[in-house]
Amino acid sequence: MKKIIIPVDFSAHSEYALETGAALAKKHNAELIVMHMLELSESLISSSSNDRNEETAFMLMLANKKFEAFLDKSYLEGISVTPLIKHHKVLKEVASVAAHEKADLVVMGSRGHSDHDGIFTGSNTEKVVRYSDIPVLVVKSKPDSVNFKNIVLATDFLEGSISAVKNGLELLNALADNVILLHVNLPNLGFLSTEEIDERVSDFLKLAQLEDKNINIDFIADHNVEDGVLSYAKRINADAVAMITHGRTGLSHFFGGSISEDLVNHTKLPVVTFRK
């Protein structure tokens, strides 16, 4: 892990992300790129060129001052930190910057849907996840540690998820002592017998060329994916959960739109997402 992108709005939740990113940077000797989206009003956008230039310059000066104060943290000492200000508030810019910088991870704070101020509402976090081609780590609180013991990666064990699972395992094995691939066995049309699950997992490992790897695999039965993942995470005292996203449709694959939003926005655990 060489570069970590951290979008910030100078709030407490963005500081949670900053502190998490700093701990990861120290652990992996990585560079932090701390990114602020400079919000421009609709009236400014429609104003004359001179007015627009003057107000943009003024807002940029204020943002730089806030940045300087925001980055004055003891836990950033010894870390290479690059502040970056984008002049418009478009959240897919985070993904563009991450791609341009060849970053390995985006770390982002999230309030969930209970608070709609700033960029760190649940819906905006979902947008960053949707457009990001690199993994996104979503944090909800001040980190106790980034030395994770157990991370649960939920997957359907289907061929289309092989690439994402392999990429996910590479990162998660660097973050945690133990990674568990979890299948949530659902009732009705999604139900699989134990024998069917074993067969699907075996086929998956063969196709993924992971048979000789020491991979922990488990499954749990529940009424929906969200409850299954969270119940299992609680049972093993997991430090984080991980899931696979599906292109521009966000987290709809396997999880279902509303389920995915609930899982990302309402669990207190950190959530890592990977593009399929």
- pLDDT tens-digit profile, the chain (276 residues): 899 999 988 888 899 999 999 999 999 999 999 998 776 554 444 455 665 567 667 667 777 888 899 999 999 999 999 998 876 556 677 888 888 899 999 999 887 544 444 445 555 677 777 778 889 999 988 888 898 999 999 998 999 889 989 989 999 999 999 999 999 999 987 799 999 999 999 999 999 999 888 899 999 999 888 889 999 999 999 999 998 876 544 444 444 444 555 566 668 889 998 877
User: How far lies 246's CA from each of 11, 161, 204, in Å?
Assistant: 29, 10, 18
In this structure, the answer to whether residues 15 and 88 fall within a common structural domain is yes
In this structure, the answer to whether residues 218 and 159 fall within a common structural domain is yes
CA distance 137 to 56: 31
Using CB atoms within 10 Å of the CB of residue 209, give its burial: 0 to 12 exposed, 13 to 18 middle, 19+ buried. Answer: exposed
pTM here?
A: 0.85
Strands 3-8 and 105-109: parallel
Nearest alpha carbon to residue 151 among 16, 21, 272, 20: 272
In this structure, the answer to whether residues 200 and 97 fall within a common structural domain is no
In this structure, the answer to whether residues 51 and 160 fall within a common structural domain is no
- Of 139, 174, 208, which one is at a domain's C-terminal end? 139
In this structure, the answer to whether residues 164 and 125 fall within a common structural domain is no
In this structure, the answer to whether residues 88 and 128 fall within a common structural domain is yes
CA distance 5 to 252: 24
Q: What is the pLDDT of residue 75?
A: 95
- Of 106, 139, 172, which one is at a domain's C-terminal end? 139
Q: What is the pLDDT of residue 10?
A: 87
CATH number (domain holding residue 65): 3.40.50.620
In this structure, the answer to whether residues 170 and 105 fall within a common structural domain is no
In this structure, the answer to whether residues 133 and 256 fall within a common structural domain is no
In this structure, the answer to whether residues 134 and 152 fall within a common structural domain is no
Domain that residue 191 falls in: 148-275
Q: What is the pLDDT of residue 188?
A: 81
Number of domains in the chain: 2
In this structure, the answer to whether residues 130 and 176 fall within a common structural domain is no
In this structure, the answer to whether residues 194 and 214 fall within a common structural domain is yes
- Of 139, 174, 200, which one is at a domain's C-terminal end? 139
In this structure, the answer to whether residues 119 and 204 fall within a common structural domain is no
CA distance 37 to 213: 42
Q: What is the pLDDT of residue 45?
A: 44
